Chain A
Amino acid sequence: MSILGHRVLRKEDSRFLRGEGRYVENLPLDGAVAVTFVRSLLAHARITGIDTTAAQALPNVQILTAADMELGPFGPPPFPGLDPGMGRPLLAVDRVRFVGDIIAVVVSDDRAVGVDAAELVAVDYDPLPAVVDPHEAAKDEVLLFPEAGTNVAARSGSPEHDEKLFDGCDVVVSGTLVSQRMAPCPLEPRSAAAAVGPDGRITAWLSTQTPHQDRMVIAGTFGLDPAQVRVVAPDVGGGFGAKMLNVEEVLLVWLARRLGRPVRWTETRSESMVALPHGRAERLDFTIGGTREGKVLAYRLAALQDAGAYPVLGAFLPNLTALMASGVYAIPRIEFEGRSVVTNTTPISAFRGAGRPEASQTIERALDLLAAELGMDPAEIRRRNFIAKDAFPHTTASHAAYDSGDYEGALDLVLRSVGYDELRDEQRRRREQGDTTQLGIGISTYVEITNGVDETEFGEVEITPDGGAIVRTGSFSHGQGHETTFAMIAAERLGLPVEKVTVHKGDTDEIAKGTGTYGSKSTQIGGAAAGLAADDVVEQAKRLVADYLEASPTDIVLDPALGRMHVAGDPSTAISWADLASRASDDGRLAELKAEREFKSAPSFPFGAHVAVVEVDTETCRVELRRLVAVDDAGTLINPLIAEGQVHGGVATGVAQALYEHVVYDDDGNPLTGTFVGYAFPSAADLPSWEAVEMETPTPLNALGAKGIGESGTIGATPAVHNAVVDALAPFGVRNVDLPANGENVWRALQEAKA
């Protein structure tokens, strides 16, 4: 019986449960000095002087500034359309552009002394007007990069309007969805260390999702052959899209080279809240039109993306929003225009969903708004517009090529699971009674894209001398459980118990290549590559067994239940992996039991349907999430236990956006949510239990049938909860509540509706 599809407990748990996690901060590094960054306290200013006298007077302290820096700016990623002139100086040169920009670096023997010294560095600022609101930034009155002449960092879609877009529509409605700025908040703040060997070779230990890509960027930055750089990502305490190579890690390598000593740095949380990139921060103005029967004919979106002070991945997000604009609906005509602007705020990058939640949040609100206008049930309008189950593969008007799906099936399942009709009855009763605790029911049916840019991943399988196996993967795991899932995939192919398979990752010296983990792509490409490599090892093993049994390789079969190979029809003379490995070791032929593969795939499109049930107190405006039922279909599940865990965490983040979290700046660009005290990261007391319902529609894109599951819960949950809050307030004439739909925003919506 195959182990795939079973709820196998995680192999990696033990070290975390015992407090033996190998996070960067926990690694010993002899002789390392501590690095502390002096960060800008102003959002936009000229630096007119830096006085380090008092700081330098502390014992064993060294301070470096832009005057010491020979490297040019850290450029934006090479995405089409990003303005390359908006690079970020590694140390601020003359000007700071957000609270958190790095002005100087303190190197000290003692970490606490380093913090003392950083506080003694006196920076003279000449304040400049700050621009925080992307709408203001788009006016180009205050420029972050005067030499660029504009704050617009990137454009997407087309500014051309088809005047006939809404022709034939009986009903046309418009609205605005602001997908508010969020802080990714991995529980482990970033940590990095770097050392240079006697041969000049660099080793960087990074809390990152992308060790191999980081190695290439480090090599490129310092003009080195990649072979001269080793990146090690040990255990990483969550990433959520935000942990990829940034200026801090580059500075650590620069310092290690310059000082000739190992250096290390661990971010404080308050530092992380301004320095680790944020996510979302996209405003979408939408117009949707359809027939009286609820058939959507046309959809127009204008996205304004706040890229933060320096455009990185965030500036590119509207492209993903554009691609996924159509959602699960067959919309004949779609128009998209996107602009990304720089503002005096923390840069925006990827955060769990990255561009796709924004698409889903918008189309799902738009559908509900259209349904409200038509007096139609939100479930019904969705049914009338789904891409049909038999229409796959299907290319949308927004140019996404969906692989497989059963959107109506997901909706049916979620409505049945939640007891939709009974809930509507209860809602009706409360409305008729004028209950001060109103019930809101919100639906979202969503589709998202995983492995979004057709990536390739590397996998290697090697039989060890004791007859076990090592899987080496270029994919990375910072909580996703690859050490279990990928072991299961290889174990199943090899016919080994999962305990005998060990997964290695994250060290560029050991793993030949890799892309890392983001965009929910690990299993479908990394897992698939490991599976193919295991298949190759089986074929190679059959040749070896054939030699030993003096048979033809084509006659050798693997008994996957017992992990033995024998001539077909003659199981009496079988060779187990342990016997084979032992014999091959003795004969110097063990290397024949090793194979590497790369697997490339087109994107896959997980989908699902969520229903949220909220209660809103119409007197206090308190919002309480009562239930969230989630159907998430990510194709075939390798380990349903781990997949469910991904859904739970994803849903919690989606709900956090719907009800709680929001990174806020004042008009001068001062962060008002710069710690975990001010930022509304929900605890267990703020959330209910989740009702996750499995559904599996395999993708034809890989042999596993697997799509990505890491972000779907987030993408599905926010609009369901958002729609539920608006639905609760419908009797008061409320058609929109701004995100997060917390008490304050509910109160505002009720006030507006009364006005």
Chain B
Amino acid sequence: MTRIALTVNGSRCDADVEPRQLLAYLLRDQLGLKGTNVGCDTTSCGACTVLLDGESVKSCTVFAVQADGCEVTTVEGISQGRELHPVQQAFHELHALQCGYCTPGFVMATISLLKENPNPSEEEIRLGLEGNLCRCTGYHNIVRAVQAAARAGA
């Protein structure tokens, strides 16, 4: 076991982790943050996307020990109380989610995308979210939601 210390959604956490422990399971099983879903085991689907020091990563492909000393933001850490983050709000208003399983990952990837490129074209959105998979929406409304969030200055 290795002792690590990290900041998750603004709170400092200490954890003892096996060297092989993945960040996704540290968040889910040890810290109880179940919003980070795991949809694959090959870094393909992006359901587990979180922000690591402000940049999106797939938490199934980051060892927990790699997050030692880092700041992690999960979907639980982006809204202000009951008020949704503008990206969450846009996903709601544009019907950009159905079963909801890929949603936290898409929301986190979108936050990261808009930080890098606040005014992306449709093509840039599609390429920027290439690492996230959705089986329900056909991506149409997800793209619209990202555009709306960009307009809202998210």
Contact = CB atoms under 8 A, between A and B. Distances in A.
Given A189-B39, A684-B139, A17 B99 contact: no
Nearest to A239: B99
A713 B137 CA distance: 12
A20 to B, nearest CB: 7
Given A269-B41, A675-B40, A645 B137 contact: yes
Interface string B83-126: 01000100111010111111110010000000000000010011
Contact of A187 (B34, B39, B76, B125): B39
A584 B63 CA distance: 59
Interface residues of A, number: 54
A575 to B, nearest CB: 33
A315 B28 CA distance: 39
A481 B97 CA distance: 10
Contacts of B104: 16-17, 19
Which of B100, B134, B137, B138 has the most chain A CB within a 10 Å cutoff? B138
Contacts of A478: 99
A270 interface: yes
A10 B37 CA distance: 21
A683 interface: yes
Contact of B95 (A10, A186, A268, A676): A10
Interface string A30-41: 000000000000
Interface string A432-455: 000000000000000000000000
A684 B33 contact: no
A648 B141 contact: yes
B45 A269 contact: yes
A689 B133 CA distance: 16
B53 interface: no
Contacts of B95: 9-10, 641-642, 644-645
Interface string A1-33: 000000001101111111111010110000000
B36 interface: yes
Nearest to A7: B95
A268 B41 contact: yes
Nearest to A238: B99
Contact of A9 (B34, B92, B132, B134): B92
A728 interface: no
A673 to B, nearest CB: 12
B41 A21 contact: no
A650 B100 CA distance: 16
A676 B133 contact: yes
B123 to A, nearest CB: 8
B76 A676 contact: no
A112 B18 contact: yes
Nearest to A237: B101
B150 interface: no
A342 interface: no
A16 B103 contact: yes
Interface residues of B, number: 52
B107 to A, nearest CB: 7
Interface string B30-52: 00011111011110110100000
Contacts of A642: 95
B41 A187 contact: no
B44 A677 contact: yes
B143 interface: yes
B142 interface: yes
A112 B19 CA distance: 12
B16 interface: no
Contact of B140 (A12, A186, A480, A690): A690
Given A187-B135, A651-B138, A270 B97 contact: no
Contact of B75 (A19, A641, A653, A677): A19
Contact of A684 (B84, B97, B100, B130): B130
Contacts of B40: 269, 675-676
Contacts of B76: 18-19
A649 interface: yes
B52 to A, nearest CB: 17
Given A26-B34, A269-B40, A677-B44, A13 B97 contact: yes
Contacts of B135: 185-187, 238, 240, 649, 653, 681
Interface string A675-692: 111000101110101100
A645 B98 contact: yes
Contacts of B129: 683-685
A236 B75 CA distance: 19
B92 A17 contact: yes
B99 A188 contact: yes
A681 B133 contact: yes
A20 B82 CA distance: 12
Given A9-B93, A185-B135, A187-B102, A689 B143 contact: yes
Contact of A481 (B88, B98, B134): B98
A187 B133 contact: yes
A15 to B, nearest CB: 8
A21 B130 contact: no
A21 B100 CA distance: 7
Given A19-B75, A677-B42, A689 B97 contact: no
A685 B101 contact: no
B51 to A, nearest CB: 13
A683 B132 contact: yes
B1 interface: no
B36 A687 contact: no
A212 B81 CA distance: 37
Contacts of B122: 689
A25 B35 CA distance: 11
A709 to B, nearest CB: 13
Contacts of A560: none
A639 B132 CA distance: 27
A188 B101 contact: yes
Which of B102, B136, B141 has the most chain A CB within a 10 Å cutoff? B136
A690 B141 CA distance: 10
A652 B41 CA distance: 23
B138 A675 contact: no
A48 to B, nearest CB: 30
A479 interface: yes
A269 B45 CA distance: 10
Contacts of A479: 98-100, 136
A641 B91 CA distance: 13
Given A185-B135, A269-B39, A684 B47 contact: no
B101 A23 contact: yes
Contacts of A690: 138, 140
A83 interface: no
Contacts of B56: none
A615 interface: no
B39 to A, nearest CB: 5
B127 interface: yes
A235 interface: yes
A479 B102 CA distance: 11
Contact of B97 (A17, A653, A677, A681): A17
B59 interface: no
A652 B36 CA distance: 25
A684 B126 contact: yes
Interface string A635-676: 000000110110011111100000000000000000000011
A15 B101 CA distance: 11
A630 to B, nearest CB: 10
A480 B84 contact: no
Which of A13, A14, A270 has the most chain B CB within a 10 Å cutoff? A13
16 contacts: A10-B97, A17-B84, A19-B33, A19-B34, A112-B20, A187-B99, A237-B100, A269-B41, A651-B138, A675-B42, A683-B130, A684-B142, A685-B129, A687-B138, A689-B143, A690-B140
Q: Ordered nearest first, which 6 A-B pairs have the shortest CB separation?
A: A19-B35, A16-B100, A237-B101, A652-B138, A479-B99, A676-B44
Interface of B: 18, 20, 33-37, 39-42, 44-45, 47, 74-76, 79, 84, 88, 91-93, 95, 97-104, 107, 122, 125-127, 129-143
